[in-house]
A and B are shown apart, each in its own frame.
Chain A
Amino acid sequence: MTVISILGFILIIIGLWGMLTQKNIIKMIIGFSIIDTGLHLVIVSIGFIKGRTAPIISKAVEGLDTGKNFIDPVPSALVLTAIVIGLAITALMLVYAVKLFRFKRSLQIEDFEELKW
């Protein structure tokens, strides 16, 4: 597979490691962001075809068979949505972090274990 997707998966793994081992909420959120980034890389890499160009009709591609020269536009479209959604979730996570900090003046995940069993 492409290097990009491998890179993406490595990022996902790294992000996951961060999310699962870091006790600080902000660091966990960063971990999540890294996962997200890796994910976006993986998505983009799916659409990539070696030697082809972005699917925009311009002078450079005029007259060529678009079907043979363009990469897949769908993953590019999807990744945009994914980015926006990731953004939204990250923003909410951060707001949650803010709210949680207000209650306990702490950002350690172990400090929020009142609910259990």
Chain B
Amino acid sequence: MAKRFITLLLIALLAYMFLPFIVEVDETSQLNRVAEKYVTAGPLELGAANLVTAVIVTYRGLDTLGEIVVLFIAAVGIGFLLRKPSKKKIAAPKRSSSEILRTGSDFLIPLLILFGVYIFTHGHLTPGGGFQGGVVLTSAALLFMLSNTEARFNKQLTEVIESVSGIFYLIIGILGLILAGGFLDSRFLQLGEMGRLFSAGAIPIIYSIIGIKVGMELIGILEKLRKEEI
């Protein structure tokens, strides 16, 4: 009890400590220099309609690469952590999925895949992007796993796709370094007309690769956790 009280006290103090953030930092009314530049010059420089995408993929491309890497290593790390099967197995009660689930997923999975691909290919135009698309793809896979408890994803295939897409991402980055201003510069391709699918330089390509890679990584994580018996 005493410990809880102390913890409460500490947290209260922490809250007190955070007060300046609430009290002193008032609501923004103006864009700062960086944001201003992104918002005003972004469309011209990169040709992307979705400026958030522009920031993610190009201006802060290295972060995004890092993000991909984080997911990648999370997937690898989970695989690494779970490399040894449990010694004492308590099998979860197995039961096949219900009819509704199966029929529903049969119907939904293609749509979800399509939607996912749409999201990452149109990341530079509309809200969404590689990560979001990838997650939608994964949700399709999750649905599939739920409906077909016995079926397995081809681990080899997902891994190969994942690796290859990762390499492609890097290659595009290098292309940017060689052909344009710097690593991950998306402008080595034509900017094209804003609003078109094939515009904004390499952004759609990058986002597609990201989408595929994120999808595969998340599927990999799901697959590993799924087969895991505790």
Contact = CB atoms under 8 A, between A and B. Distances in A.
Given A16-B11, A54-B127, A102-B87, A92 B31 contact: no
Interface of B: 4, 7-8, 10-11, 14-15, 18, 21-23, 25-32, 34-36, 38-40, 42-43, 49-52, 54-56, 59-60, 63-64, 66-67, 70-71, 73-74, 77-78, 81-82, 86-88, 125-127, 129, 131, 194-195, 221, 225, 228, 230
Nearest to B81: A95
8 contacts: A1-B22, A49-B27, A67-B36, A70-B51, A80-B131, A81-B66, A87-B71, A98-B82
Contacts of B18: 9
A70 B22 contact: no
Contacts of A1: 21-23, 25-27
Contacts of B71: 84, 87-88
Contacts of B15: 9, 13
- Looking at chain A's contact residues, the main secondary structure is helix
A67 B31 contact: yes
A49 B28 contact: yes
Interface string A66-108: 1100101110111011001101110110111011011001000
- Looking at chain B's contact residues, the main secondary structure is helix
Contacts of A66: 39-40, 43, 51
A50 interface: yes
Contacts of B60: 74, 77-78
Contacts of A77: 52, 55-56, 59-60, 63
Contact of A91 (B29, B49, B74, B127): B74
Contacts of A54: 52, 127
- Closest 10 pairs between A and B when the two form their complex, measured CB to CB: A88-B74, A55-B51, A77-B55, A72-B35, A57-B49, A77-B56, A70-B39, A73-B52, A76-B52, A73-B51
A87 B78 CA distance: 12
Contact of B67 (A2, A6, A48, A85): A85
A56 B11 contact: no
A70 B81 CA distance: 44
Contacts of B64: 81
Interface in A16-67: 16-17, 20-21, 46-50, 54-58, 66-67
Given A72-B32, A95-B81, A56 B14 contact: no
Contacts of A101: 230
Nearest to B72: A88
Contact of B27 (A17, A50, A85, A95): A50
A5 B70 contact: no
Nearest to B25: A1
A5 B87 CA distance: 46
